[in-house]
Amino acid sequence: MKIAFFEIRPGEKEFFQTKLSAHELYFSGEPINLATLPQKDFEVISTHTNSKIDKSTIETLPNLKLIATRTTGYDHIDITSATAKGIIVCNVPTYGEVTVAEYTFALILSLARRIPIAYNRVRSGEFHTDGLEGFDLNGKTIGIVGTGHIGVNVIKIARGFGMKVIAFDAFPNQNLQADLGFTYATLDDLYKQSDIITFHVPGLPQTTHMLNMSHLDTLKKGIYIINTSRGSVVETAALVQGLDKEIIAGVAIDVMEEETHLIENAEATLENHLINHPNVIVTPHNAFNTVEAKQRITETTLANIENFLKGTPTNIVKPHKD
């Protein structure tokens, strides 16, 4: 088999080289780029989220049989076009439920206690607490949008902090409420009641701009918004306007609507406005990035490829139905 890995990260290459030594392997640290592909006869490709695998990519690779994304989300892949051509798409459904939940709280605590500002202050030679007053999480209401693998772990951690938890999900799991100590609400009520809102839904047409300009007037004044899911879920312009109008007190995001060309467009984009705002923390799609999570990603991806080669594919992603 001709197998190509894109966006390969340190450690991954050696792992796949050892485990798939019987195959013809190609590795690139870059996202897939049709212009620079050395060959077009790959049968299996594996990527992260910066590789946009659209219809034209799929049509340029006539022998393609399997796309093994090394991610949970698969909004970077045109699943409908792949499936129509008989190409199997598989993902890593559960590598990071605790990993991303812990990171969500790292972002929440960084905002609540102004850690990045405090850290930079001491490094710049100052040692005082002026302007660093934060707030307790205990007793605050957190609204969790999406109660899947990650959302459930965020609920557990939030309860550990003594927070009141409300949640919204298109497919609520009612049994969870009593077990974990939270209640489901409508999205509108969650927006009205929360002191902090955090998003844990997949990037889908149905979740695009779930928080948008039309919600600004319904949010509690002084709310904090966290997003570690997908940039498309929260309208960037609404975050910027909410901050400017002082409806939103702070934003911490690991994902952006426009992630790939941020540096090239370093001028006055909405994304750059956010990045430079004093009450905003932006990290570079880093929530998954722990030793343990990456080990689970490579092991599950290897299993996905090996199971496909055996004729018993696993973790298949299907086109989303409304």
Binding span for ligand NAD by CB under 6 A among 17-25, 54-62, 142-150, 257-265: 142-150
The sheet with strand 88-90 has its strands ordered as: 24-27, 2-5, 44-46, 66-68, 88-90
**203 binding ligand NAD? (CB under 6 A):** yes
Contact 25, 17 (CB under 8 A): yes
Please identify which residue in 102, 169, 259, 306 interacts with ligand NAD, judged by CB under 6 A: 169
CA distances to 84, 134, 321 from 222, rounded to whole Å, are 47, 13, 37
Q: Which is nearer to ligand NAD, 240 or 253 (CB)?
A: 253
Q: How many CB atoms lie within 10 A of CB 216?
A: 18
Give the distance from CA 41 to its chain's centroid: 31
199 three-state secondary structure:
strand
- Count how many residues are written for the chain: 322
Please identify which residue in 113, 141, 202, 208 interacts with ligand NAD, judged by CB under 6 A: 202
Q: By C-alpha distance, which of 306, 235, 245 is closest to 277?
A: 245
Q: For residue 261, indicate whether it is catalytic.
A: no
Q: Kindly provide the residue ranges of all beta strands, DSSP E only, lying in 38-181, ordered along the sequence.
A: 44-46, 66-68, 88-90, 141-145, 164-168
Please identify which residue in 200, 215, 220, 294 interacts with ligand NAD, judged by CB under 6 A: 200
Q: In the complex, which residue's CB is closest to ligand NAD? A: 148
**227 binding ligand NAD? (CB under 6 A):** no
Please identify which residue in 13, 52, 85, 149 interacts with ligand NAD, judged by CB under 6 A: 149
Please identify which residue in 46, 57, 69, 147 interacts with ligand NAD, judged by CB under 6 A: 147
Binding span for ligand NAD by CB under 6 A among 21-29, 30-38, 203-211, 306-314: 203-211
Footprint on this chain of ligand NAD (rule: CB under 6 A): 72-73, 96-97, 100, 146-151, 169-171, 200-204, 206-207, 228-230, 254-255, 285, 287-288
